[in-house]
């Protein structure tokens, strides 16, 4: 028996909303990842099985590695098809926001969504969701939004409406947000959910192969270079840092998504329990931080990099040069050292 998580009130309100409206817009965060794409597509396939009209609008493009998911090529990037997206939002009766907790994560799409007259629902698993929807379904102990969506489907007694396409998309999100079930993945329900998704005919090995285990030669060389020449390890503070400049990225014909999961690699070193990756972009330095155990990186991203996220996976942006971003990292190292000293003296 899988725990359904949502309260009865939430289930009733969600089901009524889905049943009573016909024209839906689904949206997710900037630089959509497997969970954002999987949750919006999973919800789209469910709604289409109910006979609804559904469009997905993402703030920007879906990464190449996820385009194999059924329906992914029809996702409208607001950055590219702004007028079409504005028109579709204008006609929508209901907007469902998935996998983000603040309109800020919608980038330029934010005002279009927040100012729309359509009814809005948020379904998310990030800590501390903002109140910008009529119904907020937020459970931060869920390993992925896709897992939460599946539990919502079960709660609404709609499992029979889940087709193979829907199951594939939800599985992809659960898999990517847990690093192929290697973190945040000790809840036995996750595996009962996977079994229920597999009964819909999905090929989970193929999804892993296409979403995670596929790389261009350029990407593999860039990863090799980053680990060999750019990774710094600060064993006394349990930290690792990789910085890539625009010039270095260009040398390896960088394409969006090529550095995905690089930030996790230094965590393979037993002494390292937090890992920082900085990538120089046009307008800012993109920051990604991952950690293991109790070391919270979302607060670091909030305090230093205009960002946020989860305890063990967070990100943000630094507005300044790579050198200044590096100086900010040194400040964080000092803070961590001071904290360690304090803890040692209190022992």
Element (H, E) at 82: helix 82-91
Site for Mn ion in 143-162 (CB under 5 A): 145
For the sheet with 285-291, list strands across it. Answer: 232-234, 239-244, 274-280, 285-291, 313-318, 308-309
Question: How many Å apart are CA 21 and CA 38, to the nearest integer?
Answer: 22
The alpha helices in 143-287, defined as continuous H runs, are 145-155, 164-177, 188-198, 204-211, 217-225, 246-251
Cα 277 to chain centroid, rounded: 16
Residue of 308, 312, 318, 328 that binds ligand 5GP (CB under 6 A) = 308
From the list Mn ion, ligand 5GP, none, partner contacted by residue 38 (C-beta under 5 to 8 A by kind): none
Residue of 315, 325, 328, 336 that binds ligand 5GP (CB under 6 A) = 315
From the list Mn ion, ligand 5GP, none, partner contacted by residue 17 (C-beta under 5 to 8 A by kind): none
288 binds ligand 5GP, rule: CB under 6 A = yes
Number of chain positions touching ligand 5GP (CB under 6 A):
11
260 binds Mn ion, rule: CB under 5 A = no
Question: How many Å apart are CA 165 and CA 286, to the nearest integer?
Answer: 33
38 binds ligand 5GP, rule: CB under 6 A = no
307 binds ligand 5GP, rule: CB under 6 A = yes
Residue with tokens 């597999």: 198
Q: Which stretch binds Mn ion (CB under 5 A): 62-70, 85-93, 96-104, 115-123?
A: 96-104
Question: How many Å apart are CA 38 and CA 41, to the nearest integer?
Answer: 5
From the list ligand 5GP, Mn ion, none, partner contacted by residue 314 (C-beta under 5 to 8 A by kind): ligand 5GP
Q: What are phi and psi of 98, to 5 degrees?
A: -130, 135
Question: How many Å apart are CA 180 and CA 192, to the nearest integer?
Answer: 15
Q: Shortest Cβ distance from residue 332 to Mn ion (Å)?
A: 24
266 binds ligand 5GP, rule: CB under 6 A = no
Question: How many Å apart are CA 338 and CA 236, to the nearest integer?
Answer: 12
Comparing CB distances to Mn ion, the nearer of 88 and 170 is: 170
Q: Shortest Cβ distance from residue 28 to ligand 5GP (Å)?
A: 11
Residue with tokens 């350029």: 218
Residue of 55, 126, 165, 304 that binds ligand 5GP (CB under 6 A) = 126
59 binds ligand 5GP, rule: CB under 6 A = no
Q: Shortest Cβ distance from residue 307 to ligand 5GP (Å)?
A: 4
H/E/C letters for each residue in 127-166? CCCCCCCCEEEECCCCCCHHHHHHHHHHHCCCHHHCCHHH
Residue nearest to ligand 5GP (CB): 315
Comparing CB distances to Mn ion, the nearer of 186 and 344 is: 186
Neighbours of 108 (CB within 10 A): 12
Q: How many residues appear in the chain?
A: 347
35 binds Mn ion, rule: CB under 5 A = yes
Residue with tokens 């998704």: 197
Q: Shortest Cβ distance from residue 6 to ligand 5GP (Å)?
A: 21
99 binds Mn ion, rule: CB under 5 A = yes
Residue of 177, 258, 260, 280 that binds Mn ion (CB under 5 A) = 177
């Amino acid at each position: 028996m899988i725990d359904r998580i949502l309260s009865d009130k939430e289930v009733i309100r969600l089901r009524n909303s889905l049943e009573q409206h016909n024209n839906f817009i689904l949206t997710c965060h900037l630089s959509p990842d497997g969970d954002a794409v999987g949750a919006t597509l999973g919800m789209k396939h469910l709604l289409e099985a109910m006979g609804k009209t559904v469009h997905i609008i993402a703030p920007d493009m879906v990464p190449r590695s996820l385009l194999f998911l059924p329906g992914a090529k029809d996702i409208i990037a607001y950055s590219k098809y702004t007028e079409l997206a504005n028109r579709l939002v204008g006609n929508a009766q209901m907007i469902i926001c998935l996998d983000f907790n603040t309109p800020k994560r919608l980038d330029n799409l934010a005002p279009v969504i927040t100012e729309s007259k359509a009814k809005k629902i948020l379904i998310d698993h990030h800590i501390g969701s903002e109140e910008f929807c009529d119904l907020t379904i937020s459970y931060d102990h869920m390993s992925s939004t896709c897992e939460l969506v599946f539990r919502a489907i079960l709660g609404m007694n709609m499992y029979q409406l889940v087709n193979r396409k829907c199951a594939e998309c939800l599985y992809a999100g659960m898999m990517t947000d847990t690093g192929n079930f290697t973190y945040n993945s000790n809840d036995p329900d996750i595996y009962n959910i996977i079994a229920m998704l597999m009964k819909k005919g999905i090929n989970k090995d193929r999804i892993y192969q296409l979403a995670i285990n596929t790389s261009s030669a350029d990407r593999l060389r860039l990863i090799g270079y980053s680990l060999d020449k750019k990774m710094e390890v600060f064993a006394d503070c349990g930290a690792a840092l990789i910085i890539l400049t625009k010039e270095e990225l260009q040398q390896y014909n960088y394409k969006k998504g090529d550095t995905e999961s690089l930030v996790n690699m230094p965590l393979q070193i037993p002494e390292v329990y937090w890992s920082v990756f900085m990538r120089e972009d046009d307008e800012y330095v993109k920051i990604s931080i991952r950690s293991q155990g109790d070391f919270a990186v979302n607060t670091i991203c909030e305090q230093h990099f205009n960002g946020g996220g989860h305890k063990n996976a967070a990100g943000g942006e630094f507005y300044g040069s790579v050198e200044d971003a590096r100086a900010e990292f040194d400040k964080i190292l000092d803070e961590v050292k001071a904290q360690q000293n304090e803890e040692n003296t209190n022992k």
